[in-house]
Structure 1
Amino acid sequence: MKLFTTVLIATCALSARAGGLESLESFVKTVKTAHSEFTQVVTLPAKDGQSTRTKKSNGTFEFSRPGRFRFVYQKPFEQTIVADGQTLWLYDKDLNQVTARAQAQALGSTPAALIASAADLRALQADFVLAADADSDGLEWVRATPKAKDSALQFVRVGFRAGQLAVLEITDSFGQRSSLRFNAFEANAALAASTFQFKPPVGADVIRQ
């Protein structure tokens, strides 16, 4: 009886740890478009005797798999990030400046690739080592570690609730942590093609990298 109980507990634990990977695989396969609101909290590491500091922002997020997405930061500063399949655009309203980069070079092993760009799990595994983390806070977690040695990221954690994207946690190589929590997530939303088109505003400085 004791052996049976031990095996049962071990099996349940393995199943729980596999849950995050299964949720990620299902999410990539079945959620082709989405619309969501988000809140982002960036935690800056302590330095020079100062305590940790946090910055909060919010906005909306949309994607169409593979390779197209749009982040609109509304507060406290207005910024728009658009990937149209060819170019990654970043518009800073306060600076009236647009930065444009070739999308294929800019994305790769980035958090956006994890949730919006890849067509399947195999594509993600080309750039990340994926592993299930223990369930916590009512979420199933996946840890993604970039394979590129020169990546600006340490790792990314993706949390799913009932198979839907709930949280994205990013830790960069400097120890800065960023947590995005998604609200009112609408999977397979009907999105206009113009959602992922971007035209630099008249008068804005455009920097191409």
Structure 2
Amino acid sequence: MIKKLFASLALSALAVAAHAGAMQSLENFVRTAKTGRADFTQTITAPPREGQAARTKTSSGSFEFQRPDRFRFEYRKPFEQTIVADGKTVWLHDKDLNQVSQRRQARVLAQTPAAVIAASPDMATIQRDFDLKELPDSGGLQWVQATPKQKEGQLTSMKVGFRGDQLAALEILDSFGQRSLLTFNNMQVNAPMTAEAFRFTPPKGVDVVEAP
């Protein structure tokens, strides 16, 4: 009986430890990862239309971040796009459209996945903007769900996946029912970064528009 009781307590303790692991991984990543770079693959799944199956499209590129609030996405396939946050402005350069859009970063950061990835190096900022919930392990990863406290944005919810303390995936659901899964490879944490990586100057000849 005593052995069974101790075994039961041990299993309960292991279950609690596993459940707490996802949130601890997030806290460790936010606290210790000052910079990072990785390759990514993004799969976007649009909700099915009547009489049609769900549609998917895949893109890939590279990602860099530096705390606080600086990041860069370089989409290379199938189309080239650059998204840069320099701490004040979020820039989006669509090479095919020959257009650059800019938005004030303070207005949009809390409604983007970067609010979790590249936020200030403490949990207070994230907890101010998101309700956090630990989820069961899935696909070999530990998951935390982040739901925006402001409901009027396009971001409905986000799941952050970790392999140990390493960021491995983001799954994003928007207000249109579109689901986007980013998987990260070759993640380098605290890699040397230059300020130039997070600066953006619109190329000559492109149309520059200020998005609301």
Normalising by the smaller structure, the TM-score range is: over 0.9
What residue in structure 2 maps to residue 66 of structure 1?
68
Cα shift readout 1:60-116 (whole Å, capped 9, x = no counterpart):
000000110000000111100000001100000000100011111111132111111
Distance in 1 (alpha carbons) for counterparts of 2:122 and 2:44? 29
In the other structure, the counterpart of 2:199 is 197
2:9 — aligned with what? 7
2:55 is matched with: 53
8 A Cα contact 1:43 1:55, kept in partner: yes
- Give, in whole Å, the separation in 1 of the partners of 2:13 and 2:31: 26
Match of 1:148 in 2: 150
Is 1:123 equivalent to 2:133 in the alignment?
A: no
1:174 CA drift (Å): 2.2
After TM superposition, the structure 1 stretch with the greater mean CA deviation from structure 2, 66-75 or 105-114, is 105-114
Q: Quote the residue 1:139 is aligned against.
A: 141
1:176 Cα offset (Å): 1.1
Query: Which of 29, 33, 38 pairs up with 1:27?
Result: 29
Amino acid at match of 1:130: L
What does residue 101 of structure 1 align with? 103
Amino acid across the alignment from 2:15: A
Structure-2 separation of matches of 1:12 and 1:157: 23
1:32–1:188 contact (8 Å) kept in structure 2? yes
Q: After the TM superposition, which segments of 4 or more aligned residues of structure 1 sit over 4 Å from their partners?
A: none
Q: What is the alpha-carbon distance in structure 2 between the residues aligned to residue 40 and residue 195 of structure 1?
A: 21
May I ask how many residue pairs the two structures share in their alignment? 209
Q: CA deviation at 1:149?
A: 1.9
* Identity across the alignment (%): 56
Cα distance in structure 2, aligned partners of 1:131 and 1:4: 29
**Which residue number in structure 1 is paired with residue 44 of structure 2?**
42
Q: Is the 8 A contact 1:109 1:128 kept in 2?
A: no
Amino acid at match of 1:204: V
AA paired with 2:42? Q
Q: 1:40-79: per-residue Cα shift (whole Å, max 9, x none)? A: 0001111121001110000000000011000000011110
> More displaced, 170-179 or 90-99?
170-179
Matched to 1:151, the amino acid is G
